[in-house]
Structure 1
């Protein structure tokens, strides 16, 4: 029996259609990365005086895992998948597993059941605090278009651009480096230039300078993206999630990948002429 890959793709399931959409997406991601897929459901019901009810609840939870494993196998032949029922709170379980995961994948259950996005939700806690990238599924949709990377001058956005460059190279699709102009175009181009210079592995890309309110403008751009990549917080944001990340998390049309990882190394110098030759500007 082969040893499990050291950094699996981990997907959390809850028994909902959104969770199964996340399983299908996670299975494709695992196969494309040659990683194992690990499906987990966090089981939190436990009451010593209600042992019979607890046992039934555990059986129901186990069926959720089994159904998710079957979904992964049907949707993506060849996927190496295991399912696990884990005792513990969902957010703590996912954050712990994310320390050794290639990627965490979640459905957008929280977005469908509440008129706002509470900070205590599993989705917000995981997207904001994970150690590895977090991919949020958006249900069935064609996997077409470029990688959309939103940059704003923050360190988190640079991590996102580095991740987008790797995703574009792996999928053999271009990256669109997007920035929403907030003050003036010259300043916007400087922000994009610095971002591109910091990620020399970014080669197949173009630049889009957008106008409008930042969050809604990026949301509109996601409708033409295969995957949207951004950081969980911007330059001036505090708290768990930045305002733009929160808007994109709630309303993006494409699967959304939130960047986490190690800080970027110092970039090698790259001339402005080279940057604009590659972007076609």
Structure 2
């Protein structure tokens, strides 16, 4: 956990209910990590040349700037009610929400966002701000969605990539802090090719295949138990597509952790298709841990 350098947990707010859920989640994280919480609102109206102060003749306390101040103060109060005693500051920063949060990411311990914001289409399962921040942030991003199952495990998707290994370390640290099990899930849909040009067999032994995938999964977790001796680790190779396997696991999980990019992704796509799919379908909060460029 990043608790020694004074970095803050940062949460983006816009006055919506998903943002308040993110505030509660962020306050809990900040208390657990013994870190300050920074509540940030991206104030876009000056960029649109909209009048932000009260109009002449209107009662004092109006105007867009005052509304932004009110929602930040409400978010700070919500954080303190959730985790009394944490250090909380609030700030209004001129700019579009995604850009403001990404500007915070190089020095943040974690960024927390809601899955949707004000004005979002209800058909969009995850809003554009959450996707953009998870795609480009320089720190882990926690998206508040679904339900935290208090006794559920931290679930992490494992595919053996460098990004996946970073997600595993983050997930183990979260499981340790939460006092829950770590459930490492490796999804597979067919026998793994061992050499370029290998032809996949039409018939294969499912039990043998599962054992082989379990061995690959175990290799990805080498040394994890020694680094996190307090965390019970469950290995789970699953014959399913990755998004389906992780979505199913999320129904009983405290948190799902995914890497920002894994095997099979184009190098130019910073957020892989699995991460993107899980963000849209998970039944619990999702943390995206992206490998630095």
Q: TM-score range by the shorter chain?
A: 0.7 to 0.9
Q: 1:173 to 1:50 in 2, by over 3 A?
A: closer
Match of 1:83 among 71, 86, 90: 90
RMSD: 2.6
Q: Distance in 2 between matches of 1:84 and 1:146?
A: 34
**Alpha-carbon distance in 1 for matches of 2:30, 2:171:** 17
- In the TM superposition, what are the counterparts of 1:118-129 in structure 2 within 5 Å? 121-129=128-136
Q: Find the counterpart in structure 2 of residue 201 from structure 1.
A: 227
Q: List gaps (5 residues or longer) in structure 2.
A: 56-61, 192-208
* 1:212 aligned residue (228, 231, 240): 240
- Given that 1:125 and 1:240 are in contact with CA atoms closer than 8 Å, whether structure 2 keeps it comes out as no
Which position in structure 1 is the counterpart of 2:279?
A: 249
Q: Of residues 145, 156, 169 in structure 1, which corresponds to 2:152?
A: 145
Distance change >3 Å, CA 26–CA 106, structure 1 → 2: same
Q: Distance in 2 between matches of 1:191 and 1:53?
A: 63
Give the TM-score taking structure 1 as reference length: 0.84
Look at both structures and tell me which one has the larger radius of gyration over its CA atoms.
2
Query: Could you tell me which residue of structure 2 aligns to residue 266 of structure 1?
Result: none
What is the SS of the residue equivalent to 2:183?
Answer: strand
Q: SS of 1:98's equivalent?
A: helix
Please give the secondary structure, in 2, of the residue aligned with 1:166. Answer: helix
SS in structure 1 at match of 2:123: coil
Aligned residues of 1:21 and 1:139 also touching (Cα < 8 A): no
Query: Contact 2:260–2:291 at 8 Å: present in 1 too?
Result: no
Shift in Å at residue 169 of structure 1? Answer: 1.8
For residues 191-232 of structure 1, give each alpha carbon's deviation from its aligned partner in whole angstroms, at most 9, with x where no partner exists.
312311264524420111112232122101111111111102
**What's the secondary structure of 1:99's corresponding residue?**
helix
Q: Quote the residue 2:203 is aligned against.
A: none
The answer on 1:171 being equivalent to 2:178 is yes
**How far apart are residue 24 of structure 1 and its match?**
0.4
Matched length: 259
In the other structure, the counterpart of 2:198 is none
Q: Is the 8 A contact 1:137 1:255 kept in 2?
A: yes
Cα deviation code 1:247-277 (max 9, x no counterpart): 11011011111113569xxxxxxxxxxxxxx
CA distance in 1 between counterparts of 2:79 and 2:51 reads 33
Q: Which of residues 254, 258, 261 is equivalent to 2:288?
A: 258
Larger helix proportion, structure 1 or 2?
1
Equivalent-residue separation in structure 1 for 2:42 and 2:123 (angstroms): 24
Aligned mates of 2:169, 2:50 — CA distance in 1: 52
2:102 aligns with 95
Aligned to 1:228: 256
Structure 1 gap ranges (5+): 264-281
Any idea what SS the aligned residue of 2:98 has? helix
